[in-house]
A = this chain, B = another copy of it.
Amino acid sequence: MSLKLTILGCHSATPRVNAFPTSQYLEINNRHFLIDCGEGTQRLMRKYKVGFSKINHIFISHLHGDHFYGLIGLLSTYGILSREKELHIYGPKGIKEVTLLQLKISQSHAKFPMIFHELSSKESELIFEDDKVSVRTIPLSHRVYTNGYLFTEKEKPRKLNMINIGGYEEIGRADFLNIKAGKDVVLSNGKIISNKELTIAPKKSLSYAFCSDTKYKPDIVPIIENTDLLYHEATFLSDKEDLAKKTKHSTAEQAAKIAKKANVNQLIIGHYSGRYSNLSLFKEEAQLTFKNTDIAETGKIFSID
């Protein structure tokens, strides 16, 4: 089990020479996800060696340009690269119509199946699940309909505890399948040996919560509680809390409050307004409330083994 997050872009919308709009690449339990896709994402994917073909699922938080204007270019490139595999795209209602219209007017060669999962619920919902990972929405509150996403590794089965099993002559290979399946063993004398004694707990399942543009919204805390890694936007410092409220963004302090309430292990902040040139001020402000905070920077990798 492992989790590796590559920050591609982590700034807000105004274009600057070395500031790129939101995009992240997440590898979790051998699944590969792209999260948001601002303009220029595909070039950053090349730069930071993100394999285009590994990605089968793209999650878009909301339809502001700095979070999805790079999607159409990436899809066109998949067409040029003759992709054949299905690609799943999750995002707010409207994403399908605008994407298909763009592909149509450019007479794109993209022939691979694109499966759109359009979201409109205001409640957290399970939107993806396989044997390795599940993904839930985190309903946020911004100027347009917006979701964050919670990525969680599936729990692996308990492993055989061969030392404890060795203590019982009667228990042999023939029982292993039942034990792995969670069953207790009944010895010939009627004694019940609990499954817990015969197995070892698997490694903890890791989780990553991505909370893109949102006002301070403490009611997301129950959804993201105890996650290993939380990304939460921090567009402003507390000196601009009024502006954050007005534009439905958060301050670094507010992001840290969410991290603290949710008892996460580590917080990453990003989506800095172009007003600020010194990003370390964001870290300093957040760390007053939540110590284990780091700042997102283009190309930075966060990994947990």
Query: Shortest Cβ distance from A288 into chain B, in angstroms?
Result: 30
Q: Are B65 and A13 in contact (CB under 8 A)?
A: no
Residues of B close to A45: CB separation below 8 A: 15
A70 to B, closest residue via Cβ: B39
B14, B94, B98: the one within 8 Å of A77 (CB): B14
- Chain A: residues with Cβ within 8 Å of the partner, total of 36
Residue A223 at the chain B interface, CB threshold 8 Å: no
Residue A144 at the chain B interface, CB threshold 8 Å: yes
Residues of B close to A65: CB separation below 8 A: 72-73, 76, 102, 106, 108
User: Are A98 and B102 also in contact (CB < 8 A) when A39-B40, A72-B65 are?
Assistant: yes
Complex-state Cα separation, A102 to B43, whole angstroms: 22
Complex-state Cα separation, A63 to B106, whole angstroms: 5
Residues of B close to A106: CB separation below 8 A: 63-65, 144
Q: Are A80 and B13 in contact (CB under 8 A)?
A: yes
Q: Which of A67-105 contact B (CB under 8 A)?
A: 69-70, 72-73, 76-77, 80-81, 94-95, 97-98, 101-102, 105
A105 to B, closest residue via Cβ: B94
Q: Are A101 and B105 in contact (CB under 8 A)?
A: no
Query: Shortest Cβ distance from A36 into chain B, in angstroms?
Result: 13
Q: Are A17 and B47 in contact (CB under 8 A)?
A: yes
Complex-state Cα separation, A101 to B39, whole angstroms: 17
A20 to B, closest residue via Cβ: B43
Residue A107 at the chain B interface, CB threshold 8 Å: yes
Residue A46 at the chain B interface, CB threshold 8 Å: yes
B13, B43, B108: the one within 8 Å of A17 (CB): B43
Q: Are A101 and B107 in contact (CB under 8 A)?
A: no
User: Are A72 and B73 also in contact (CB < 8 A) when A43-B17, A64-B106, A80-B14 are?
Assistant: no
B13, B80, B97, B143: the one within 8 Å of A76 (CB): B13
Residue A61 at the chain B interface, CB threshold 8 Å: no
Complex-state Cα separation, A76 to B68, whole angstroms: 12
Q: List 26 A-B contacts (CB under 8 A).
A: A13-B76, A13-B77, A13-B80, A15-B42, A15-B46, A15-B73, A15-B77, A16-B43, A17-B46, A39-B39, A39-B42, A39-B73, A40-B40, A63-B105, A65-B72, A65-B73, A65-B76, A65-B108, A69-B69, A69-B73, A94-B105, A98-B98, A98-B105, A101-B101, A107-B143, A107-B144
Q: Give 6 nearest A-B pairs by CB, closest first.
A: A94-B105, A15-B42, A65-B76, A39-B73, A40-B40, A17-B47
